[in-house]
Amino acid sequence: MADPSSSSRTERTRVTPNAVSLAETALVQKKLRLLMELRRAGIGDVRVLGAIEKTPREKFVPPAFEDQAYENVALPIGQGQTVSQPYVVALMTEKLELGERHNALEIGTGSGYQTAVLARLCRRVFSVERHRELLRDAERRFGELHLRNIVCRFGDGTKGWPEQEPYDRVIITAAAPQVPATLIEGLAPGGILVAPVGEDHRDQQLIRIRRHDDAFSTENLGLVRFVPLVAGLPRRTEGRGLT
C-alpha cells in the first residue's frame, strides 16, 4: 500500500514550481505592460527600452513594494529617498544620449535602479551616494546582477568626482535650486548633463545642459518631482545611526 504521507509530500513539491512559474509569468506581463506604457509616453530609444526590460526593478525596491515594481510610480527606499518612476528613469536616460564608449557620472545612487539601467548602455558608471546604507544595499544588488562596470563612492555628490573629469555624461537624481557649477564646468566638450532643478518640489523642471567647447546650452524637458539634492554628508550622533 502506498504511503499517504509520501503522496502528500509529492503533491506539495508539484505545487511549488507551478506557483513560482505563475508568479514569474505575472511579473513578465507587468513588465511588458510597463514597456508599452513607456512607448506610448514617447520613449522611442530601443536601447533604453531594452535596458529597462533587462533590469529587474523588483530587486531595487523594498519587499513590501515588490508587487508595485512595474507600476509607473516612484517608490520609497528608505533614508527619505525614493526610486524614480520608470518613465522618468527612461526619459532621463534617453536624454543623456549614451553611447557604448561613454562614461557616466551619477549623483545619487539611491537603490541603484537608475545606475543599473545606465550600466547596460555605457562603458562605465561612476556613482556617488551620501547614505552609506543605501550605497551598501545598491552595491550588493550590482554584485547579484553581475554588473561589473559600476564604480561607487560614498561622498558628497555636489562635489562631483574630480578624478573622473572631464565628464562625458552627468545625471543628477535629486533637485537643487541650481545645478552645482562644479558639475557643469566638469563636462567635456560635447558632454551632456541631465538634472531636475527647482527649489519647490511643485515647480521642478527637468533640464538638459550641453557643452559646446566653452559655451553651454540649456533645454527644458518638462515638469518633474524629486527629493532635494543635499550638500555634505549625514551627521552621526552619539549612540545613533545616520540622521
Q: Which residue numbers are catalytic?
A: 84
Q: How many CA atoms, within 13 angstroms, populate the side-chain half-sphere of residue 94? A: 20
| Distance, C-alpha 86 to centroid of its chain | 9
User: ω before 62 within 30° of 0 (cis)?
Assistant: no
Single-letter amino acid, residue 150: I
Phi and psi at 64, nearest 5°, equal -65, -20
3-class secondary-structure state, position 52 = helix
What is the C-alpha separation between 59 and 69, in angstroms, rounded? 9
Single-letter amino acid, residue 219: E
Beta bridge partners of 195: 207
